[in-house]
């Protein structure tokens, strides 16, 4: 696969202006990235900017804490899909996972997957806040709920993706779902290593630095 198609070109900062989002979309088209990843208020704007290209619109749900009610996350997802999102990156309820309420975590993911219909669902587990055992349990919930990806991080917590976490996620899920590494991938060396370890997608705001034009 073309290296640029591993990248979700990301801008999720609270102060992101429409001009900055327009630039994100222009870069995504120029570099032929897989998607732009934005907050839900920017979905329709991105769809218009990306018209005529094959760059997807990805959005985040329950971001960045994951502590909203399941009903709120489902409604947010339904609204995002209605507005034209191609992919959804949701944050799990980390507290419920730590409470070992795996039924809650699995049911929430399943309900959001149902709201996505045939669109791609990536599930952010915020690895920096979890033990290895909790990371494995989170993956088991994701597999049971039949989501499409496990994603390492929001990029807004104490750390982003690590090589160790991507290797652990790959060992746990195998080929049963895909893996997105996000947060802190800023060098070409790290980018290549994440892919070697099993990442199928890279979420980064540094995509233009990682990929040479036309590569």
Residue 77's domain comprises: 3-210
Residue 14, in any domain of the structure: yes
- Is the pTM value of this prediction over 0.85? yes
CB 187 within 8 A of CB 211: no
Residue 80 lies in a domain: yes
d(CA 42, CA 54): 18
Question: Does residue 151 lie within any of the structural domains?
Answer: yes
What pLDDT, on a 0 to 100 scale, did the predictor assign at position 84? 98
> Could you give the 3-state DSSP secondary structure of residue 150?
strand
The verdict on residue 215 lying in a domain is no
Token pair for 203: 């979420």
Q: Is-catalytic flag, 180?
A: yes
Q: Is 151 a catalytic residue?
A: yes
- For residue 62, give the CATH number of its domain: 3.20.20.70
Annotation says 101 is catalytic:
no
Shortest CA distance to 79 belongs to which of 127, 120, 41, 136? 41
Averaged pLDDT, 154-169: 97
Confidence of residue 139 (pLDDT cuts 50, 70, 90): very high
Catalytic residue among 73, 137, 151, 170: 151
Residue 156 placed within a domain: yes
Number of domains in the chain: 1
Q: What local confidence, expressed as pLDDT, does residue 214 receive? A: 54
The answer to whether residue 60 is domain-embedded is: yes
Give domain status of residue 16, yes or no.
Answer: yes
Q: What pLDDT digit, counting tens, does each position of 90-110 carry?
A: 999 999 999 999 999 999 999
In sequence order, the 6+-apart residues with CB closer than 8 A to the CB of 184 are 153, 155, 159, 160, 161, 190
Burial of 166 (0-12, 13-18, 19+ CB in 10 A): buried
């Amino acid at each position: 696969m073309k290296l640029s198609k591993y990248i979700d070109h990301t801008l999720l900062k609270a102060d992101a202006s429409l001009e900055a989002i327009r630039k994100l979309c222009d870069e995504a088209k120029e570099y032929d990235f897989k998607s732009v990843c934005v907050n839900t208020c920017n979905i329709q704007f991105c769809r218009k900017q990306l018209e005529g290209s094959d760059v997807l619109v990805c959005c985040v749900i329950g971001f960045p804490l994951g502590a909203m009610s399941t009903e709120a996350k489902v409604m947010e997802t339904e609204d995002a899909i209605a507005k034209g999102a191609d992919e959804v990156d949701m944050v799990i309820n980390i507290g419920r996972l730590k409470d070992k309420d795996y039924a809650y975590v699995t049911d929430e993911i399943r309900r959001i997957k149902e709201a996505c219909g045939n669109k791609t669902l990536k599930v952010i587990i915020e690895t920096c806040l979890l033990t290895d055992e909790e990371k494995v349990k989170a993956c088991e919930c994701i597999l049971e709920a039949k989501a499409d990806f496990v994603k390492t991080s929001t990029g807004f917590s104490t750390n982003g993706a690590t090589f160790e976490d991507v290797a652990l996620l790959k060992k746990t899920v195998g080929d049963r779902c895909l893996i997105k590494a996000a947060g802190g991938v800023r060098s070409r060396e790290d980018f290549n290593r994440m892919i070697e370890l099993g990442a199928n997608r890279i979420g980064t705001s540094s995509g233009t630095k990682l990929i040479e034009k036309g590569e």
